[in-house]
Amino acid sequence: MNKNYIKTSIYTAILIASSVVVNNYYGHLGVFPLDTFLFFDSGSRVLDGQIGVRDYWASTGILIDLMQALLFKILGVSFSTYVFHASLMNLILTVSTFFVLKKFKLNNIFSFYYSLLLSFSAYVISGTPFLDHHSIIFSILAMYCFFIAIQSKKNIFWVLVPFLLFLGFFSKQSPAIYLIFLISILSLIYFLFNFSIKPFLSILFSFLLCSAIIIFLLIKNNIELINFYNQYFSYPASIGDLRMNIDGFIKPFEFSRYILKFKFIHLSYLFLVFFLLSNTIKNKKILKDENFYILLVLIIFPLLLIFHQLMSLNQKFVGIIIPVLFGFSHVFFLRSRNLAKTQRSIIRNLLIFLSAIYIVYNFTSYVDNRRFMELKNINLKNAVDAKIIDKKLSGLKWITFLYPNDPMTEIKLINNSINLLRANNENFLLLTDYSFLYSIIGKNIYTTSRVHDSVSIPLYGEKNFIDYKNLFIKIIKKNNIKKIYIMEPVKLSSIKEIFVENCLTASELNEILKLYIIEDSCIY
């Protein structure tokens, strides 16, 4: 057994351990109900035969539902299994990055270094399965396959590119859709100047196979094409169109918003820009140069991620790409032949120093204080073990921004609500951000969406509201539902105009739980 194999195995083992252990720790620390449990109940629902689009509104994240259901099936329904899902994605990205950097001739130590930084900054910000993280990770993996396909000329990697982009898209449409367009355009140019029939057919075969699988799954699960289009394409596109035209997202165009806020992203690809420019000037056959296409993706994709971040309402998460960019900057730095020895030493040390500074900054500013969970200024030592709610949540250190100084009060209200809901033997609708209650209480709970915020479902007056309303009414009628329970912070306004005015009889059951009885002939 050679020494290089032993070193590679040791580095890989350390990366696997760091990816899982660090994410597992922070995934169990703190709660932001809307995001933390986004796929917990939906994973359980899939196990019970329910599926997004057909049985509840799912404008994104269909693949994550299925992945979570599979893990629940194998490992059991628990919060630890749920966090392991995110840890597994963290592991896959980290280890893949290590081997890809090695594939690009970066030595073991530096490949390990940048990958280790990635393990501390990729999924750890949220710690639990999240839409954007899955989409970005699958996109990065597709990007890697695109690079290797160009460099190695192996057709299997051309096959994997569309497959991974599909996985990213069905995790969340953006940012995967941006990379789909970018790689599609660059692939067309690449084949125009470097045409080879087998790689071209490999991409075409993969695309057609993925499309056939989607169509098969739609037919097999009795999902109507129009409903799939309305939920997964039409509604998300309307949200994007709206945000493009109002202030607070893309506008205003300010230096602080576009440059300073994302300074580490810009710094991480800066050397790649210099390398591309110098290489382009000297190379008359640049469109035949494989490095040209790799560099363009590495420079343009982070800019698209910045656009995606500005279009979202979430805490900053696109820093996932930064250790990757620093790693590839190091790769292309080694390919620079016109640098003096002193210059090479300075650039190498600068890449190492800046990447280390970024990890320290990111870890202290976003990870350790659970900023993504809106817990930045909250004393996390006040958290209590959520096994008090149910053993499925054992190990979760419960504290939220809703009850930052007294998590036990929130837990008591949740437990009281669970007892009240369990006492109801009829089918009922539950609208809540505490999307673990179905997994705890049972099958007589129905929902119309994973969550009920202003982004996940169309509200009155928005495009596709009628489609959501029709699904809402269908669920009520199909399951003979007469009662709707709403748990704060979800409000009755989330279902405004679905019912005729004054046709719901309301009663307050506790501080966070309200019951609404649907009167006969109440639904439009």
Identify any residues that bridge with 517 across adjacent strands, giving them in sequence order: 483, 505
Query: Residues 321, 461: one domain?
Result: no
Residue 392 lies in a domain: no
Task: Specify the pLDDT at position 280.
Answer: 78
**Does one domain contain both 367 and 503?**
no
Return the C-alpha torsion angle 482, 444, 451, 448, nearest 10: -50
How far is Cα of residue 301 from the mean position of the Cα atoms in its chain? 16
Q: Which two tokens stand for residue 424?
A: 């109801």
CA 187/CA 176 separation, integer angstroms: 16
Where is the domain boundary, 373, 391, 414? 373
Q: What pLDDT score does 1 carry?
A: 59
Q: Are residues 17 and 87 in the same domain?
A: yes
**Tens digits of residue pLDDT in 31-82:** 999 999 999 999 999 999 999 999 999 999 999 999 999 999 999 999 999 9
Which tens digits make up the pLDDT trace of 351-386?
A: 999 999 999 999 999 999 999 999 999 999 999 999
Residue 113, domain member (yes or no): yes
Residue 334 confidence (pLDDT) = 87
52 belongs to a structural domain: no
Contact 157, 149 (CB under 8 A): yes
User: Do 296 and 190 share a domain, yes or no?
Assistant: yes
Q: How many domains does the chain have?
A: 2
Q: Give the pLDDT of residue 289.
A: 86
Tell me which residues of the chain have a pLDDT lower than 70.
1, 521, 523-524
Residues 332 and 275 in one domain: yes
User: Could you tell me which of 138, 202, 141 has the C-alpha nearest to residue 171?
Assistant: 138
Kindly state whether residue 502 falls inside one of the protein's structural domains.
Answer: yes
- Tell me, yes or no, if the pTM score tops 0.85: yes
Q: Which amino acid is at 18?
A: S
> What range does the domain containing 411 cover?
399-518
Domain boundary among 335, 355, 373: 373
Q: How far apart are CA 438 and CA 39, in angstroms?
A: 12
Q: Are residues 369 and 404 in the same domain?
A: no
Q: Are residues 211 and 349 in the same domain?
A: yes
Asked if 25 contacts 81 with a C-beta cutoff of 8 angstroms, the reply is no
Residue 523: predicted pLDDT:
58
Answer yes or no: do 161 and 227 share one domain.
Answer: yes
Cβ–Cβ < 8 Å for 438, 55: no
The tokens describing 170, both together, are 């069905």
